[in-house]
């Protein structure tokens, strides 16, 4: 039996489609987009016959899995609808845009036989995987500090995809933080428990002359379960070259800093692999034996896939987990663990950087009763209406 995959949101989904096509067990079985022209063009290109402008008809068309790559407010409701039907979900980032969506997703996943995975492709970039393997083997000792930055000036893209002007740059705080936080938590193997959010002020206006609601650089400072410190910076507005994959890691026995562009390389210092306590080594010198298995196996195809190979590697993990009925590494609670701190930073920024607790949805049995008191009735309780519109425009 082929593994029947449906795609919804046929811009970003094309990247997933090219990866799924490398897997003989997968059939790209159905496509969905509310835009009929986009639907026709993408389906023709992929040779998909079953085409839907209605999500409800699409999700009932006999699928084993769906890839949700619609704009942000649709991720959770569409994922939950699929889970309720026993259909596996690979969802674009972030998993949620408010706490009510988090609960909807949790309820749907808890009663589903299907798996949920968030497609945090930056976790699957080769250098991130190499560092993770080194952490696992103890080369960093105990990790206690990390940094992630996503600096992606997208003022023009905002106008081409107007949902970004609402959901990414139309809200203050970290609206798109999982690419930066995900790899850090992937290394740390723990959860963020509290977050403070800060902004750098407003220095740009959109083409209509309106100030962006989001401050130009947003930062969150996170404390982890074991007391570690993470600093995440997201900037989608400042005029500057892109830098979307900057990470650093500090542990008791080593440190790592990703390339910052301009000819820089990924570099590492490890107490057990260095003679000089003040000398970096290029990560590439040590990467060989720490390269994750799937990267070795799929290196050639990964090099042609998007986002440093992450687009392919995540599809391999998802397909294997769904077919084997196994828990994916970026499962529901990991996905929420990557997504919730950014959301909480949005409320913290409104409260002048006050540290706020990040709910652990594994512990939440009644909603909203079991939420931390500081978040009940806050701005992040409901941001989207059930049909994906901004709740504040109601």
Ligand X SMILES: NC(=O)c1ccc[n+]([C@@H]2O[C@H](COP(=O)([O-])OP(=O)(O)OC[C@H]3O[C@@H](n4cnc5c(N)ncnc54)[C@H](O)[C@@H]3O)[C@@H](O)[C@H]2O)c1
Task: Identify the helix (H) or strand (E) that includes residue 146.
Answer: strand 143-151
* 32 near ligand X (CB under 6 A): yes
Question: Which segment (32-40, 110-118, 201-209, 284-292) binds ligand X by CB under 6 A?
Answer: 32-40
Size of the site for ligand X (CB under 6 A): 23
Q: Shortest gap between Cβ of 388 and ligand X (angstroms)?
A: 6
State the nearest-atom distance from the C-beta of 35 to ligand X, in Å: 4
Chain positions 79 to 118 lying near ligand X, rule: CB under 6 A, are: 92-93
Quick one: 277 exposed, middle or buried, by C-beta within 10 A (0-12, 13-18, 19+)? exposed
Residue 257 C-beta: closest distance to ligand X, Å: 22
Minimum distance from residue 384 beta carbon to ligand X (Å): 11
Minimum Å gap between C-beta 161 and ligand X is: 4
Q: Does 11 bind ligand X (CB under 6 A)?
A: yes
Are β-strands 218-224 and 229-235 bridged in parallel, bridged antiparallel, or unpaired? antiparallel
**Peptide bond before 81: cis, by omega within 30 degrees of 0?**
no
Which of 72/134 has CB closer to ligand X? 72
Closer CB to ligand X, 83 or 221, in the complex = 83
Nearest to 122 by CA among 296, 295, 283, 313: 313
Q: Which helix (DSSP H) or strand (DSSP E) does residue 164 occupy? A: helix 162-167
Q: What is the DSSP string of 75-123?
A: HHHHHHHHHHTT-EEEEPSPS-SSHHHHHHHHHHHHT-SS-EEE--GGG
**Is 121 one of the binding residues for ligand X (CB under 6 A)?**
yes
- Restricting to residues 132-191, which ones interact with ligand X according to CB under 6 A? 161, 163
Residues 6+ apart with CB under 8 A from 66: 5, 6, 7, 8, 58, 59, 78, 79, 82, 87, 88, 89, 90
Q: Does residue 55 interact with ligand X by CB under 6 A?
A: yes
Interatomic CA distance for residues 249 and 268, integer angstroms: 9
Going residue by residue from 325 to 364, which x/- string records binding to ligand X, judged by CB under 6 A? ----------------------------------------
Q: Pick the stretch among 63-71, 223-231, 320-328, 363-371 that binds ligand X (CB under 6 A).
A: 63-71
How many residues does the structure list for the chain?
394
Question: At residue 283, what are phi and psi to the nearest 5 degrees?
Answer: -55, -35
Q: Which is nearer to ligand X, 19 or 70 (CB)?
A: 70
127 vs 250, which CB is nearer to ligand X?
127
- Provide the binding-site residues for ligand X, judged by CB under 6 A: 8-12, 32-35, 38, 55, 69-72, 74, 92-93, 121, 161, 163, 307, 388
């Amino acid at each position: 039996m082929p593994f029947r995959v449906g795609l919804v949101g046929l811009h970003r989904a094309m990247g997933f489609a090219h990866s799924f096509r490398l897997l003989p067990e997968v059939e790209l079985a159905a496509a969905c987009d509310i835009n009929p022209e986009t639907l026709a063009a993408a389906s023709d290109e992929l040779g998909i016959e079953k085409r839907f402008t209605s999500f409800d008809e699409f999700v009932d068309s006999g699928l084993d899995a769906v890839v949700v790559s619609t704009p942000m407010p649709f991720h959770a409701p569409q994922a939950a609808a699929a889970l309720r039907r026993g259909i596996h979900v690979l969802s674009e980032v972030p998993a949620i845009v408010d706490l009510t969506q988090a609960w909807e997703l949790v309820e749907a996943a808890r009663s589903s036989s299907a798996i949920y995975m968030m497609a945090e492709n930056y976790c699957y970039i080769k250098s991130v995987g190499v560092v993770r393997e080194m952490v696992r083997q103890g080369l960093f000792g105990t990790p206690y500090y990390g940094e992630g930055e996503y600096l992606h000036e997208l003022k023009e893209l905002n106008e081409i995809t107007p949902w970004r002007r609402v959901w990414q740059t139309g809200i203050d705080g970290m609206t798109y933080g999982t690419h930066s936080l995900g790899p850090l938590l992937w290394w740390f193997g723990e959860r963020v428990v509290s977050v403070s959010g800060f902004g750098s002020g407003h220095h740009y206006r959109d083409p209509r002359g309106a100030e962006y609601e989001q401050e130009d650089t947003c930062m969150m400072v996170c404390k982890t379960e074991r007391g570690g410190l993470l600093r995440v910076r997201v900037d989608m507005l400042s005029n500057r070259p892109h830098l979307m994959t900057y990470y650093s890691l500090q542990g008791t026995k080593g440190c790592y800093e990703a390339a910052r562009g301009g000819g820089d390389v990924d570099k590492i210092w490890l107490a057990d692999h260095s003679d000089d306590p003040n000398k970096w080594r290029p990560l590439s010198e040590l990467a060989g034996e720490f390269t994750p298995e799937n990267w070795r196996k799929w290196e050639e195809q990964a090099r042609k896939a998007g986002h440093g190979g992450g687009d392919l590697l995540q599809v391999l993990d998802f397909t294997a987990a769904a077919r084997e009925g196994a828990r994916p590494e970026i499962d529901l609670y990991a996905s929420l663990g990557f997504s919730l701190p950014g959301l909480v930073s949005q409320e913290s920024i409104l409260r002048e950087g006050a540290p706020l607790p990040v709910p652990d949805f594994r512990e939440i049995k009644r909603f909203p009763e079991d939420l931390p008191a500081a978040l009940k009735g806050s701005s992040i309780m409901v941001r989207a209406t059930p049909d994906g519109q901004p709740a504040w425009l109601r």
